[in-house]
Each structure stands twice: as C-alpha cells, then as structure tokens.
Amino acid sequence: MKSIEAIRADFPILQREINGLPLAYLDNAATSQKPLAVLQAMDDYYRLRNANVHRGVHTLSEEATTLYEGARGRIARFINAPSSKQVIFTRNATEAVNLVAYSWGLDTLKPGDEVLITQMEHHANIVPWQLITERTGATLRYVPLDPQGMLRLDLLNELLTERTRLFAFVAMSNVLGTINPVAELVARAHGVGALALVDGAQSVPHLPVDVQALNCDFLVFSGHKMCGPTGSGVLYGRRELLERMPPFMGGGDMIREVRLDGSRWNTLPWKFEAGTPAIAEVIGLGAAVDYLTGLGMEWAQQREHALVRYAMEQLERVEGLRILGPGPEQRGGAVAFTLGEIHPHDTAAILDAEGIAIRAGHHCAQPIHDFYGIAASARASFYFYNTFEEIDRLVMALDKVHSVLGI
C-alpha cells in the first residue's frame, strides 16, 4: 500500500498554496481532485488519438473506440455489473436520474401510481420526479427523517404499498453523511413489486459497491466525485428494463437505421448515447476507476471512516458548533455543521483565508435544511488523500472564526 504522502503526490493540485498556506481541500462531496493518471490518460487521447468513436475504420478512430469501450468494461467490473452493455454513459448522476425519469417514468407511470423518495435526497433525485409525476398524474411521496438524520424506516410499511412503482433513494447523504441500508431498502421495494433506483453519487466514490449483491434496478453516479473528470457519469440498469425503455434522446449513434418514414434504435448501451459522446471524459473516468481499484475501495472506506471519526471528535470542541446527522459509525465522509449564529458563508470565507476549502450553502438539499430549521450549513467533506493534520487546521481555523467576527 502506498503511503499517504505518495498518494497525495499523485494529485498535483494538493501541492498548491492558497493565501501563502498549503491547500487543505475539504470539499470532496462537491467534487474530488484528479490524479496524474487521469490527467495523463485524457492528455494522451487528445495528443495522440483524437478521433470520433464507433464511426471510423482508420487507426485513430479504432484506437479511440478501444479506449472508450475499454473504460466501459472496467467501470462495469468496478460495480460488478453482469454486462458492460448495462453501463450507460451520461454527463453526470443528474442526467442519469433524468434518463430514467423521462424514459421509464413517462412511459410507465399513470394516475394512481406512486413514486417514493426520501427527505434526504439531493435535488437531482427530487426535481425530476416532481416533474414526471406532475406530467403523468402519479403521486410523489417522501420518507421523512428523524432528528438524528436517519430515515424513518419504521414508516416504510405505510409508505411502500402496491401503488408504489419506484423507490428512488440516496445511498449516502451528501449533507448528513448518512449511509442508508441499500440492500434492505431494495428488498423492501421489490417486496411490493416496485423498482429501486439508488443514487450512488456519494457512495460509489467512497466504498465498495456491488450492484448484483444490492440487487438494485438502477444505479446512478458521477465521475467527477471519484477522481474522474467532470462531464462523465453512469447509469447502470437491469438489462430487461433498459431493453424495454425508449430512447432518452434522438440523433446519431443511437440508431441502427434511419429512413424518412421512421427509424430503428441501436442495441444497448448505445441506444441511450446519442451524438458524439464525452470521449476524453469517459477515458479519464476509466483511468480513475483503475486508480481507485489499485488503492482498494475497502481501504478507502476504512481510511475515510478514521478521518471522519477524528474530525467529529475534534469538532465537538469548537464553541457553538452543531453537527448535523448521525454519529461516525452511521456516516460517510461528509460533516455538515452550523457555528452558532455565524452565517456559513462567513465561516467558509474565513477558512478560505486560512487555505482551507469547505462548502457553504444548502448543498442542493434544501429539504434537509428545512427539516433542521436552517437556511444553510457549512460542510467539510473528506477523501482518502486528506490528513489528520488538515482536520487539526480546520478546527483551529474555526476557533479563529469567533475571534475574527467578534461573536
């Protein structure tokens, strides 16, 4: 196993200074940093193999296609998908949810049907279902939170019914860090005949994910949160569902035949990938998966758990600081908090002056903040390359916030 120092050396941006101080990057729930292996893979494509995929017989096109489809295969193995044909490339997890909402939802839902989501969802897994249920006449229902930031699973018996067609839920909250019992929730959905969509945007980058063991019908995640580039995302789906779903977008590459009187669609996975794809980004995501596989996702999960446990212990010493969500045994690497009456934006600005990058706002999860009766929170979120020394700097800087603001 590489040392933390050697791992950090793989990420050029971690060598930066901000305001003359070493960067402490603690905004990993928003996006992670990228290792040299990812940057080099994308640079190699643009410098030496830049061509469109699937459409050419010349050397560059064949090399680009091999890299692009090779990444698909490695990503399929990373989540243990039965086939790479079940891995659909999207721009991000948001687009992947929308693909399911518009392709499966519009084609399936009708008045009297219900879609169940939770109060801890990212807006990306709320707004599409609000739009689709409004258009189809279906009903949208929510699993509420308890004061500890956990789902009220005791209410599932009354919320999951024979009318439920889909249960869409986050595996790990981007605000509370709560890790949900995914396999149990999938089984509960299947028990009433509903499908299960898992938002893995925060879980796939941070812990081992096996779609066959989870038995989920859909899984979505983004590349940029797992050492890959922006503009890359994945929808995994059960093959029989994807086969039945109509295309999400029309255009080139998603067709088998086009005539003036109609068209026939391509096979999976290309049926859902219209137009020239984000080739370099997919190649970069494949390199990110290789990098994470080399580290080991079990190790990454253990490393982050140690970091978040230490962070929560130290943060409890800060005057007026309140952590949202459960204890360290039930959460991943995100720690959202408030600091008395100090606005989170002020907290984040003062921390930035100390070279520490955190997030401030509602984190695209306003219903969570409504539940706690606050407009916003500050959030420190950790990845395997963070250090305990960075957490110490965070705590010292938070103590300084009081003195700077005189509060």
Give catalytic residues, as residue numbers: 364
Strand duo 321-323 + 262-265: pairing: unpaired
Within 176-238, where are the H helices? 182-191, 211-214
- CB-side neighbour CA atoms (13 Å) of 310: 17
- In contact, 145 and 151? CB cutoff 8 Å: yes
Within 10-140, where are the H helices? 36-48, 59-78, 93-99, 106-108, 127-136
74 burial (CB, 10 Å; 0-12 / 13-18 / 19+) is middle
Sign of CA dihedral 340, 345, 347, 350: negative
Q: Could you tell me which of 301, 304, 322, 96 has the C-alpha nearest to residue 217? A: 96
C-alpha 227/C-alpha 396 separation (Å) is 28
Q: Could you tell me which of 332, 232, 249, 246 has the C-alpha nearest to residue 284? A: 232
- In contact, 218 and 199? CB cutoff 8 Å: no
- Joined together, the tokens standing for residue 327 give 């204890």
- Joined together, the tokens standing for residue 295 give 């580290």
Per-state percent for the chain, helix, strand, coil, to nearest 5 = 45, 20, 35
C-alpha 165/C-alpha 210 separation (Å) is 23
Amino acid at 30: A
CA 281 to chain centre: 16
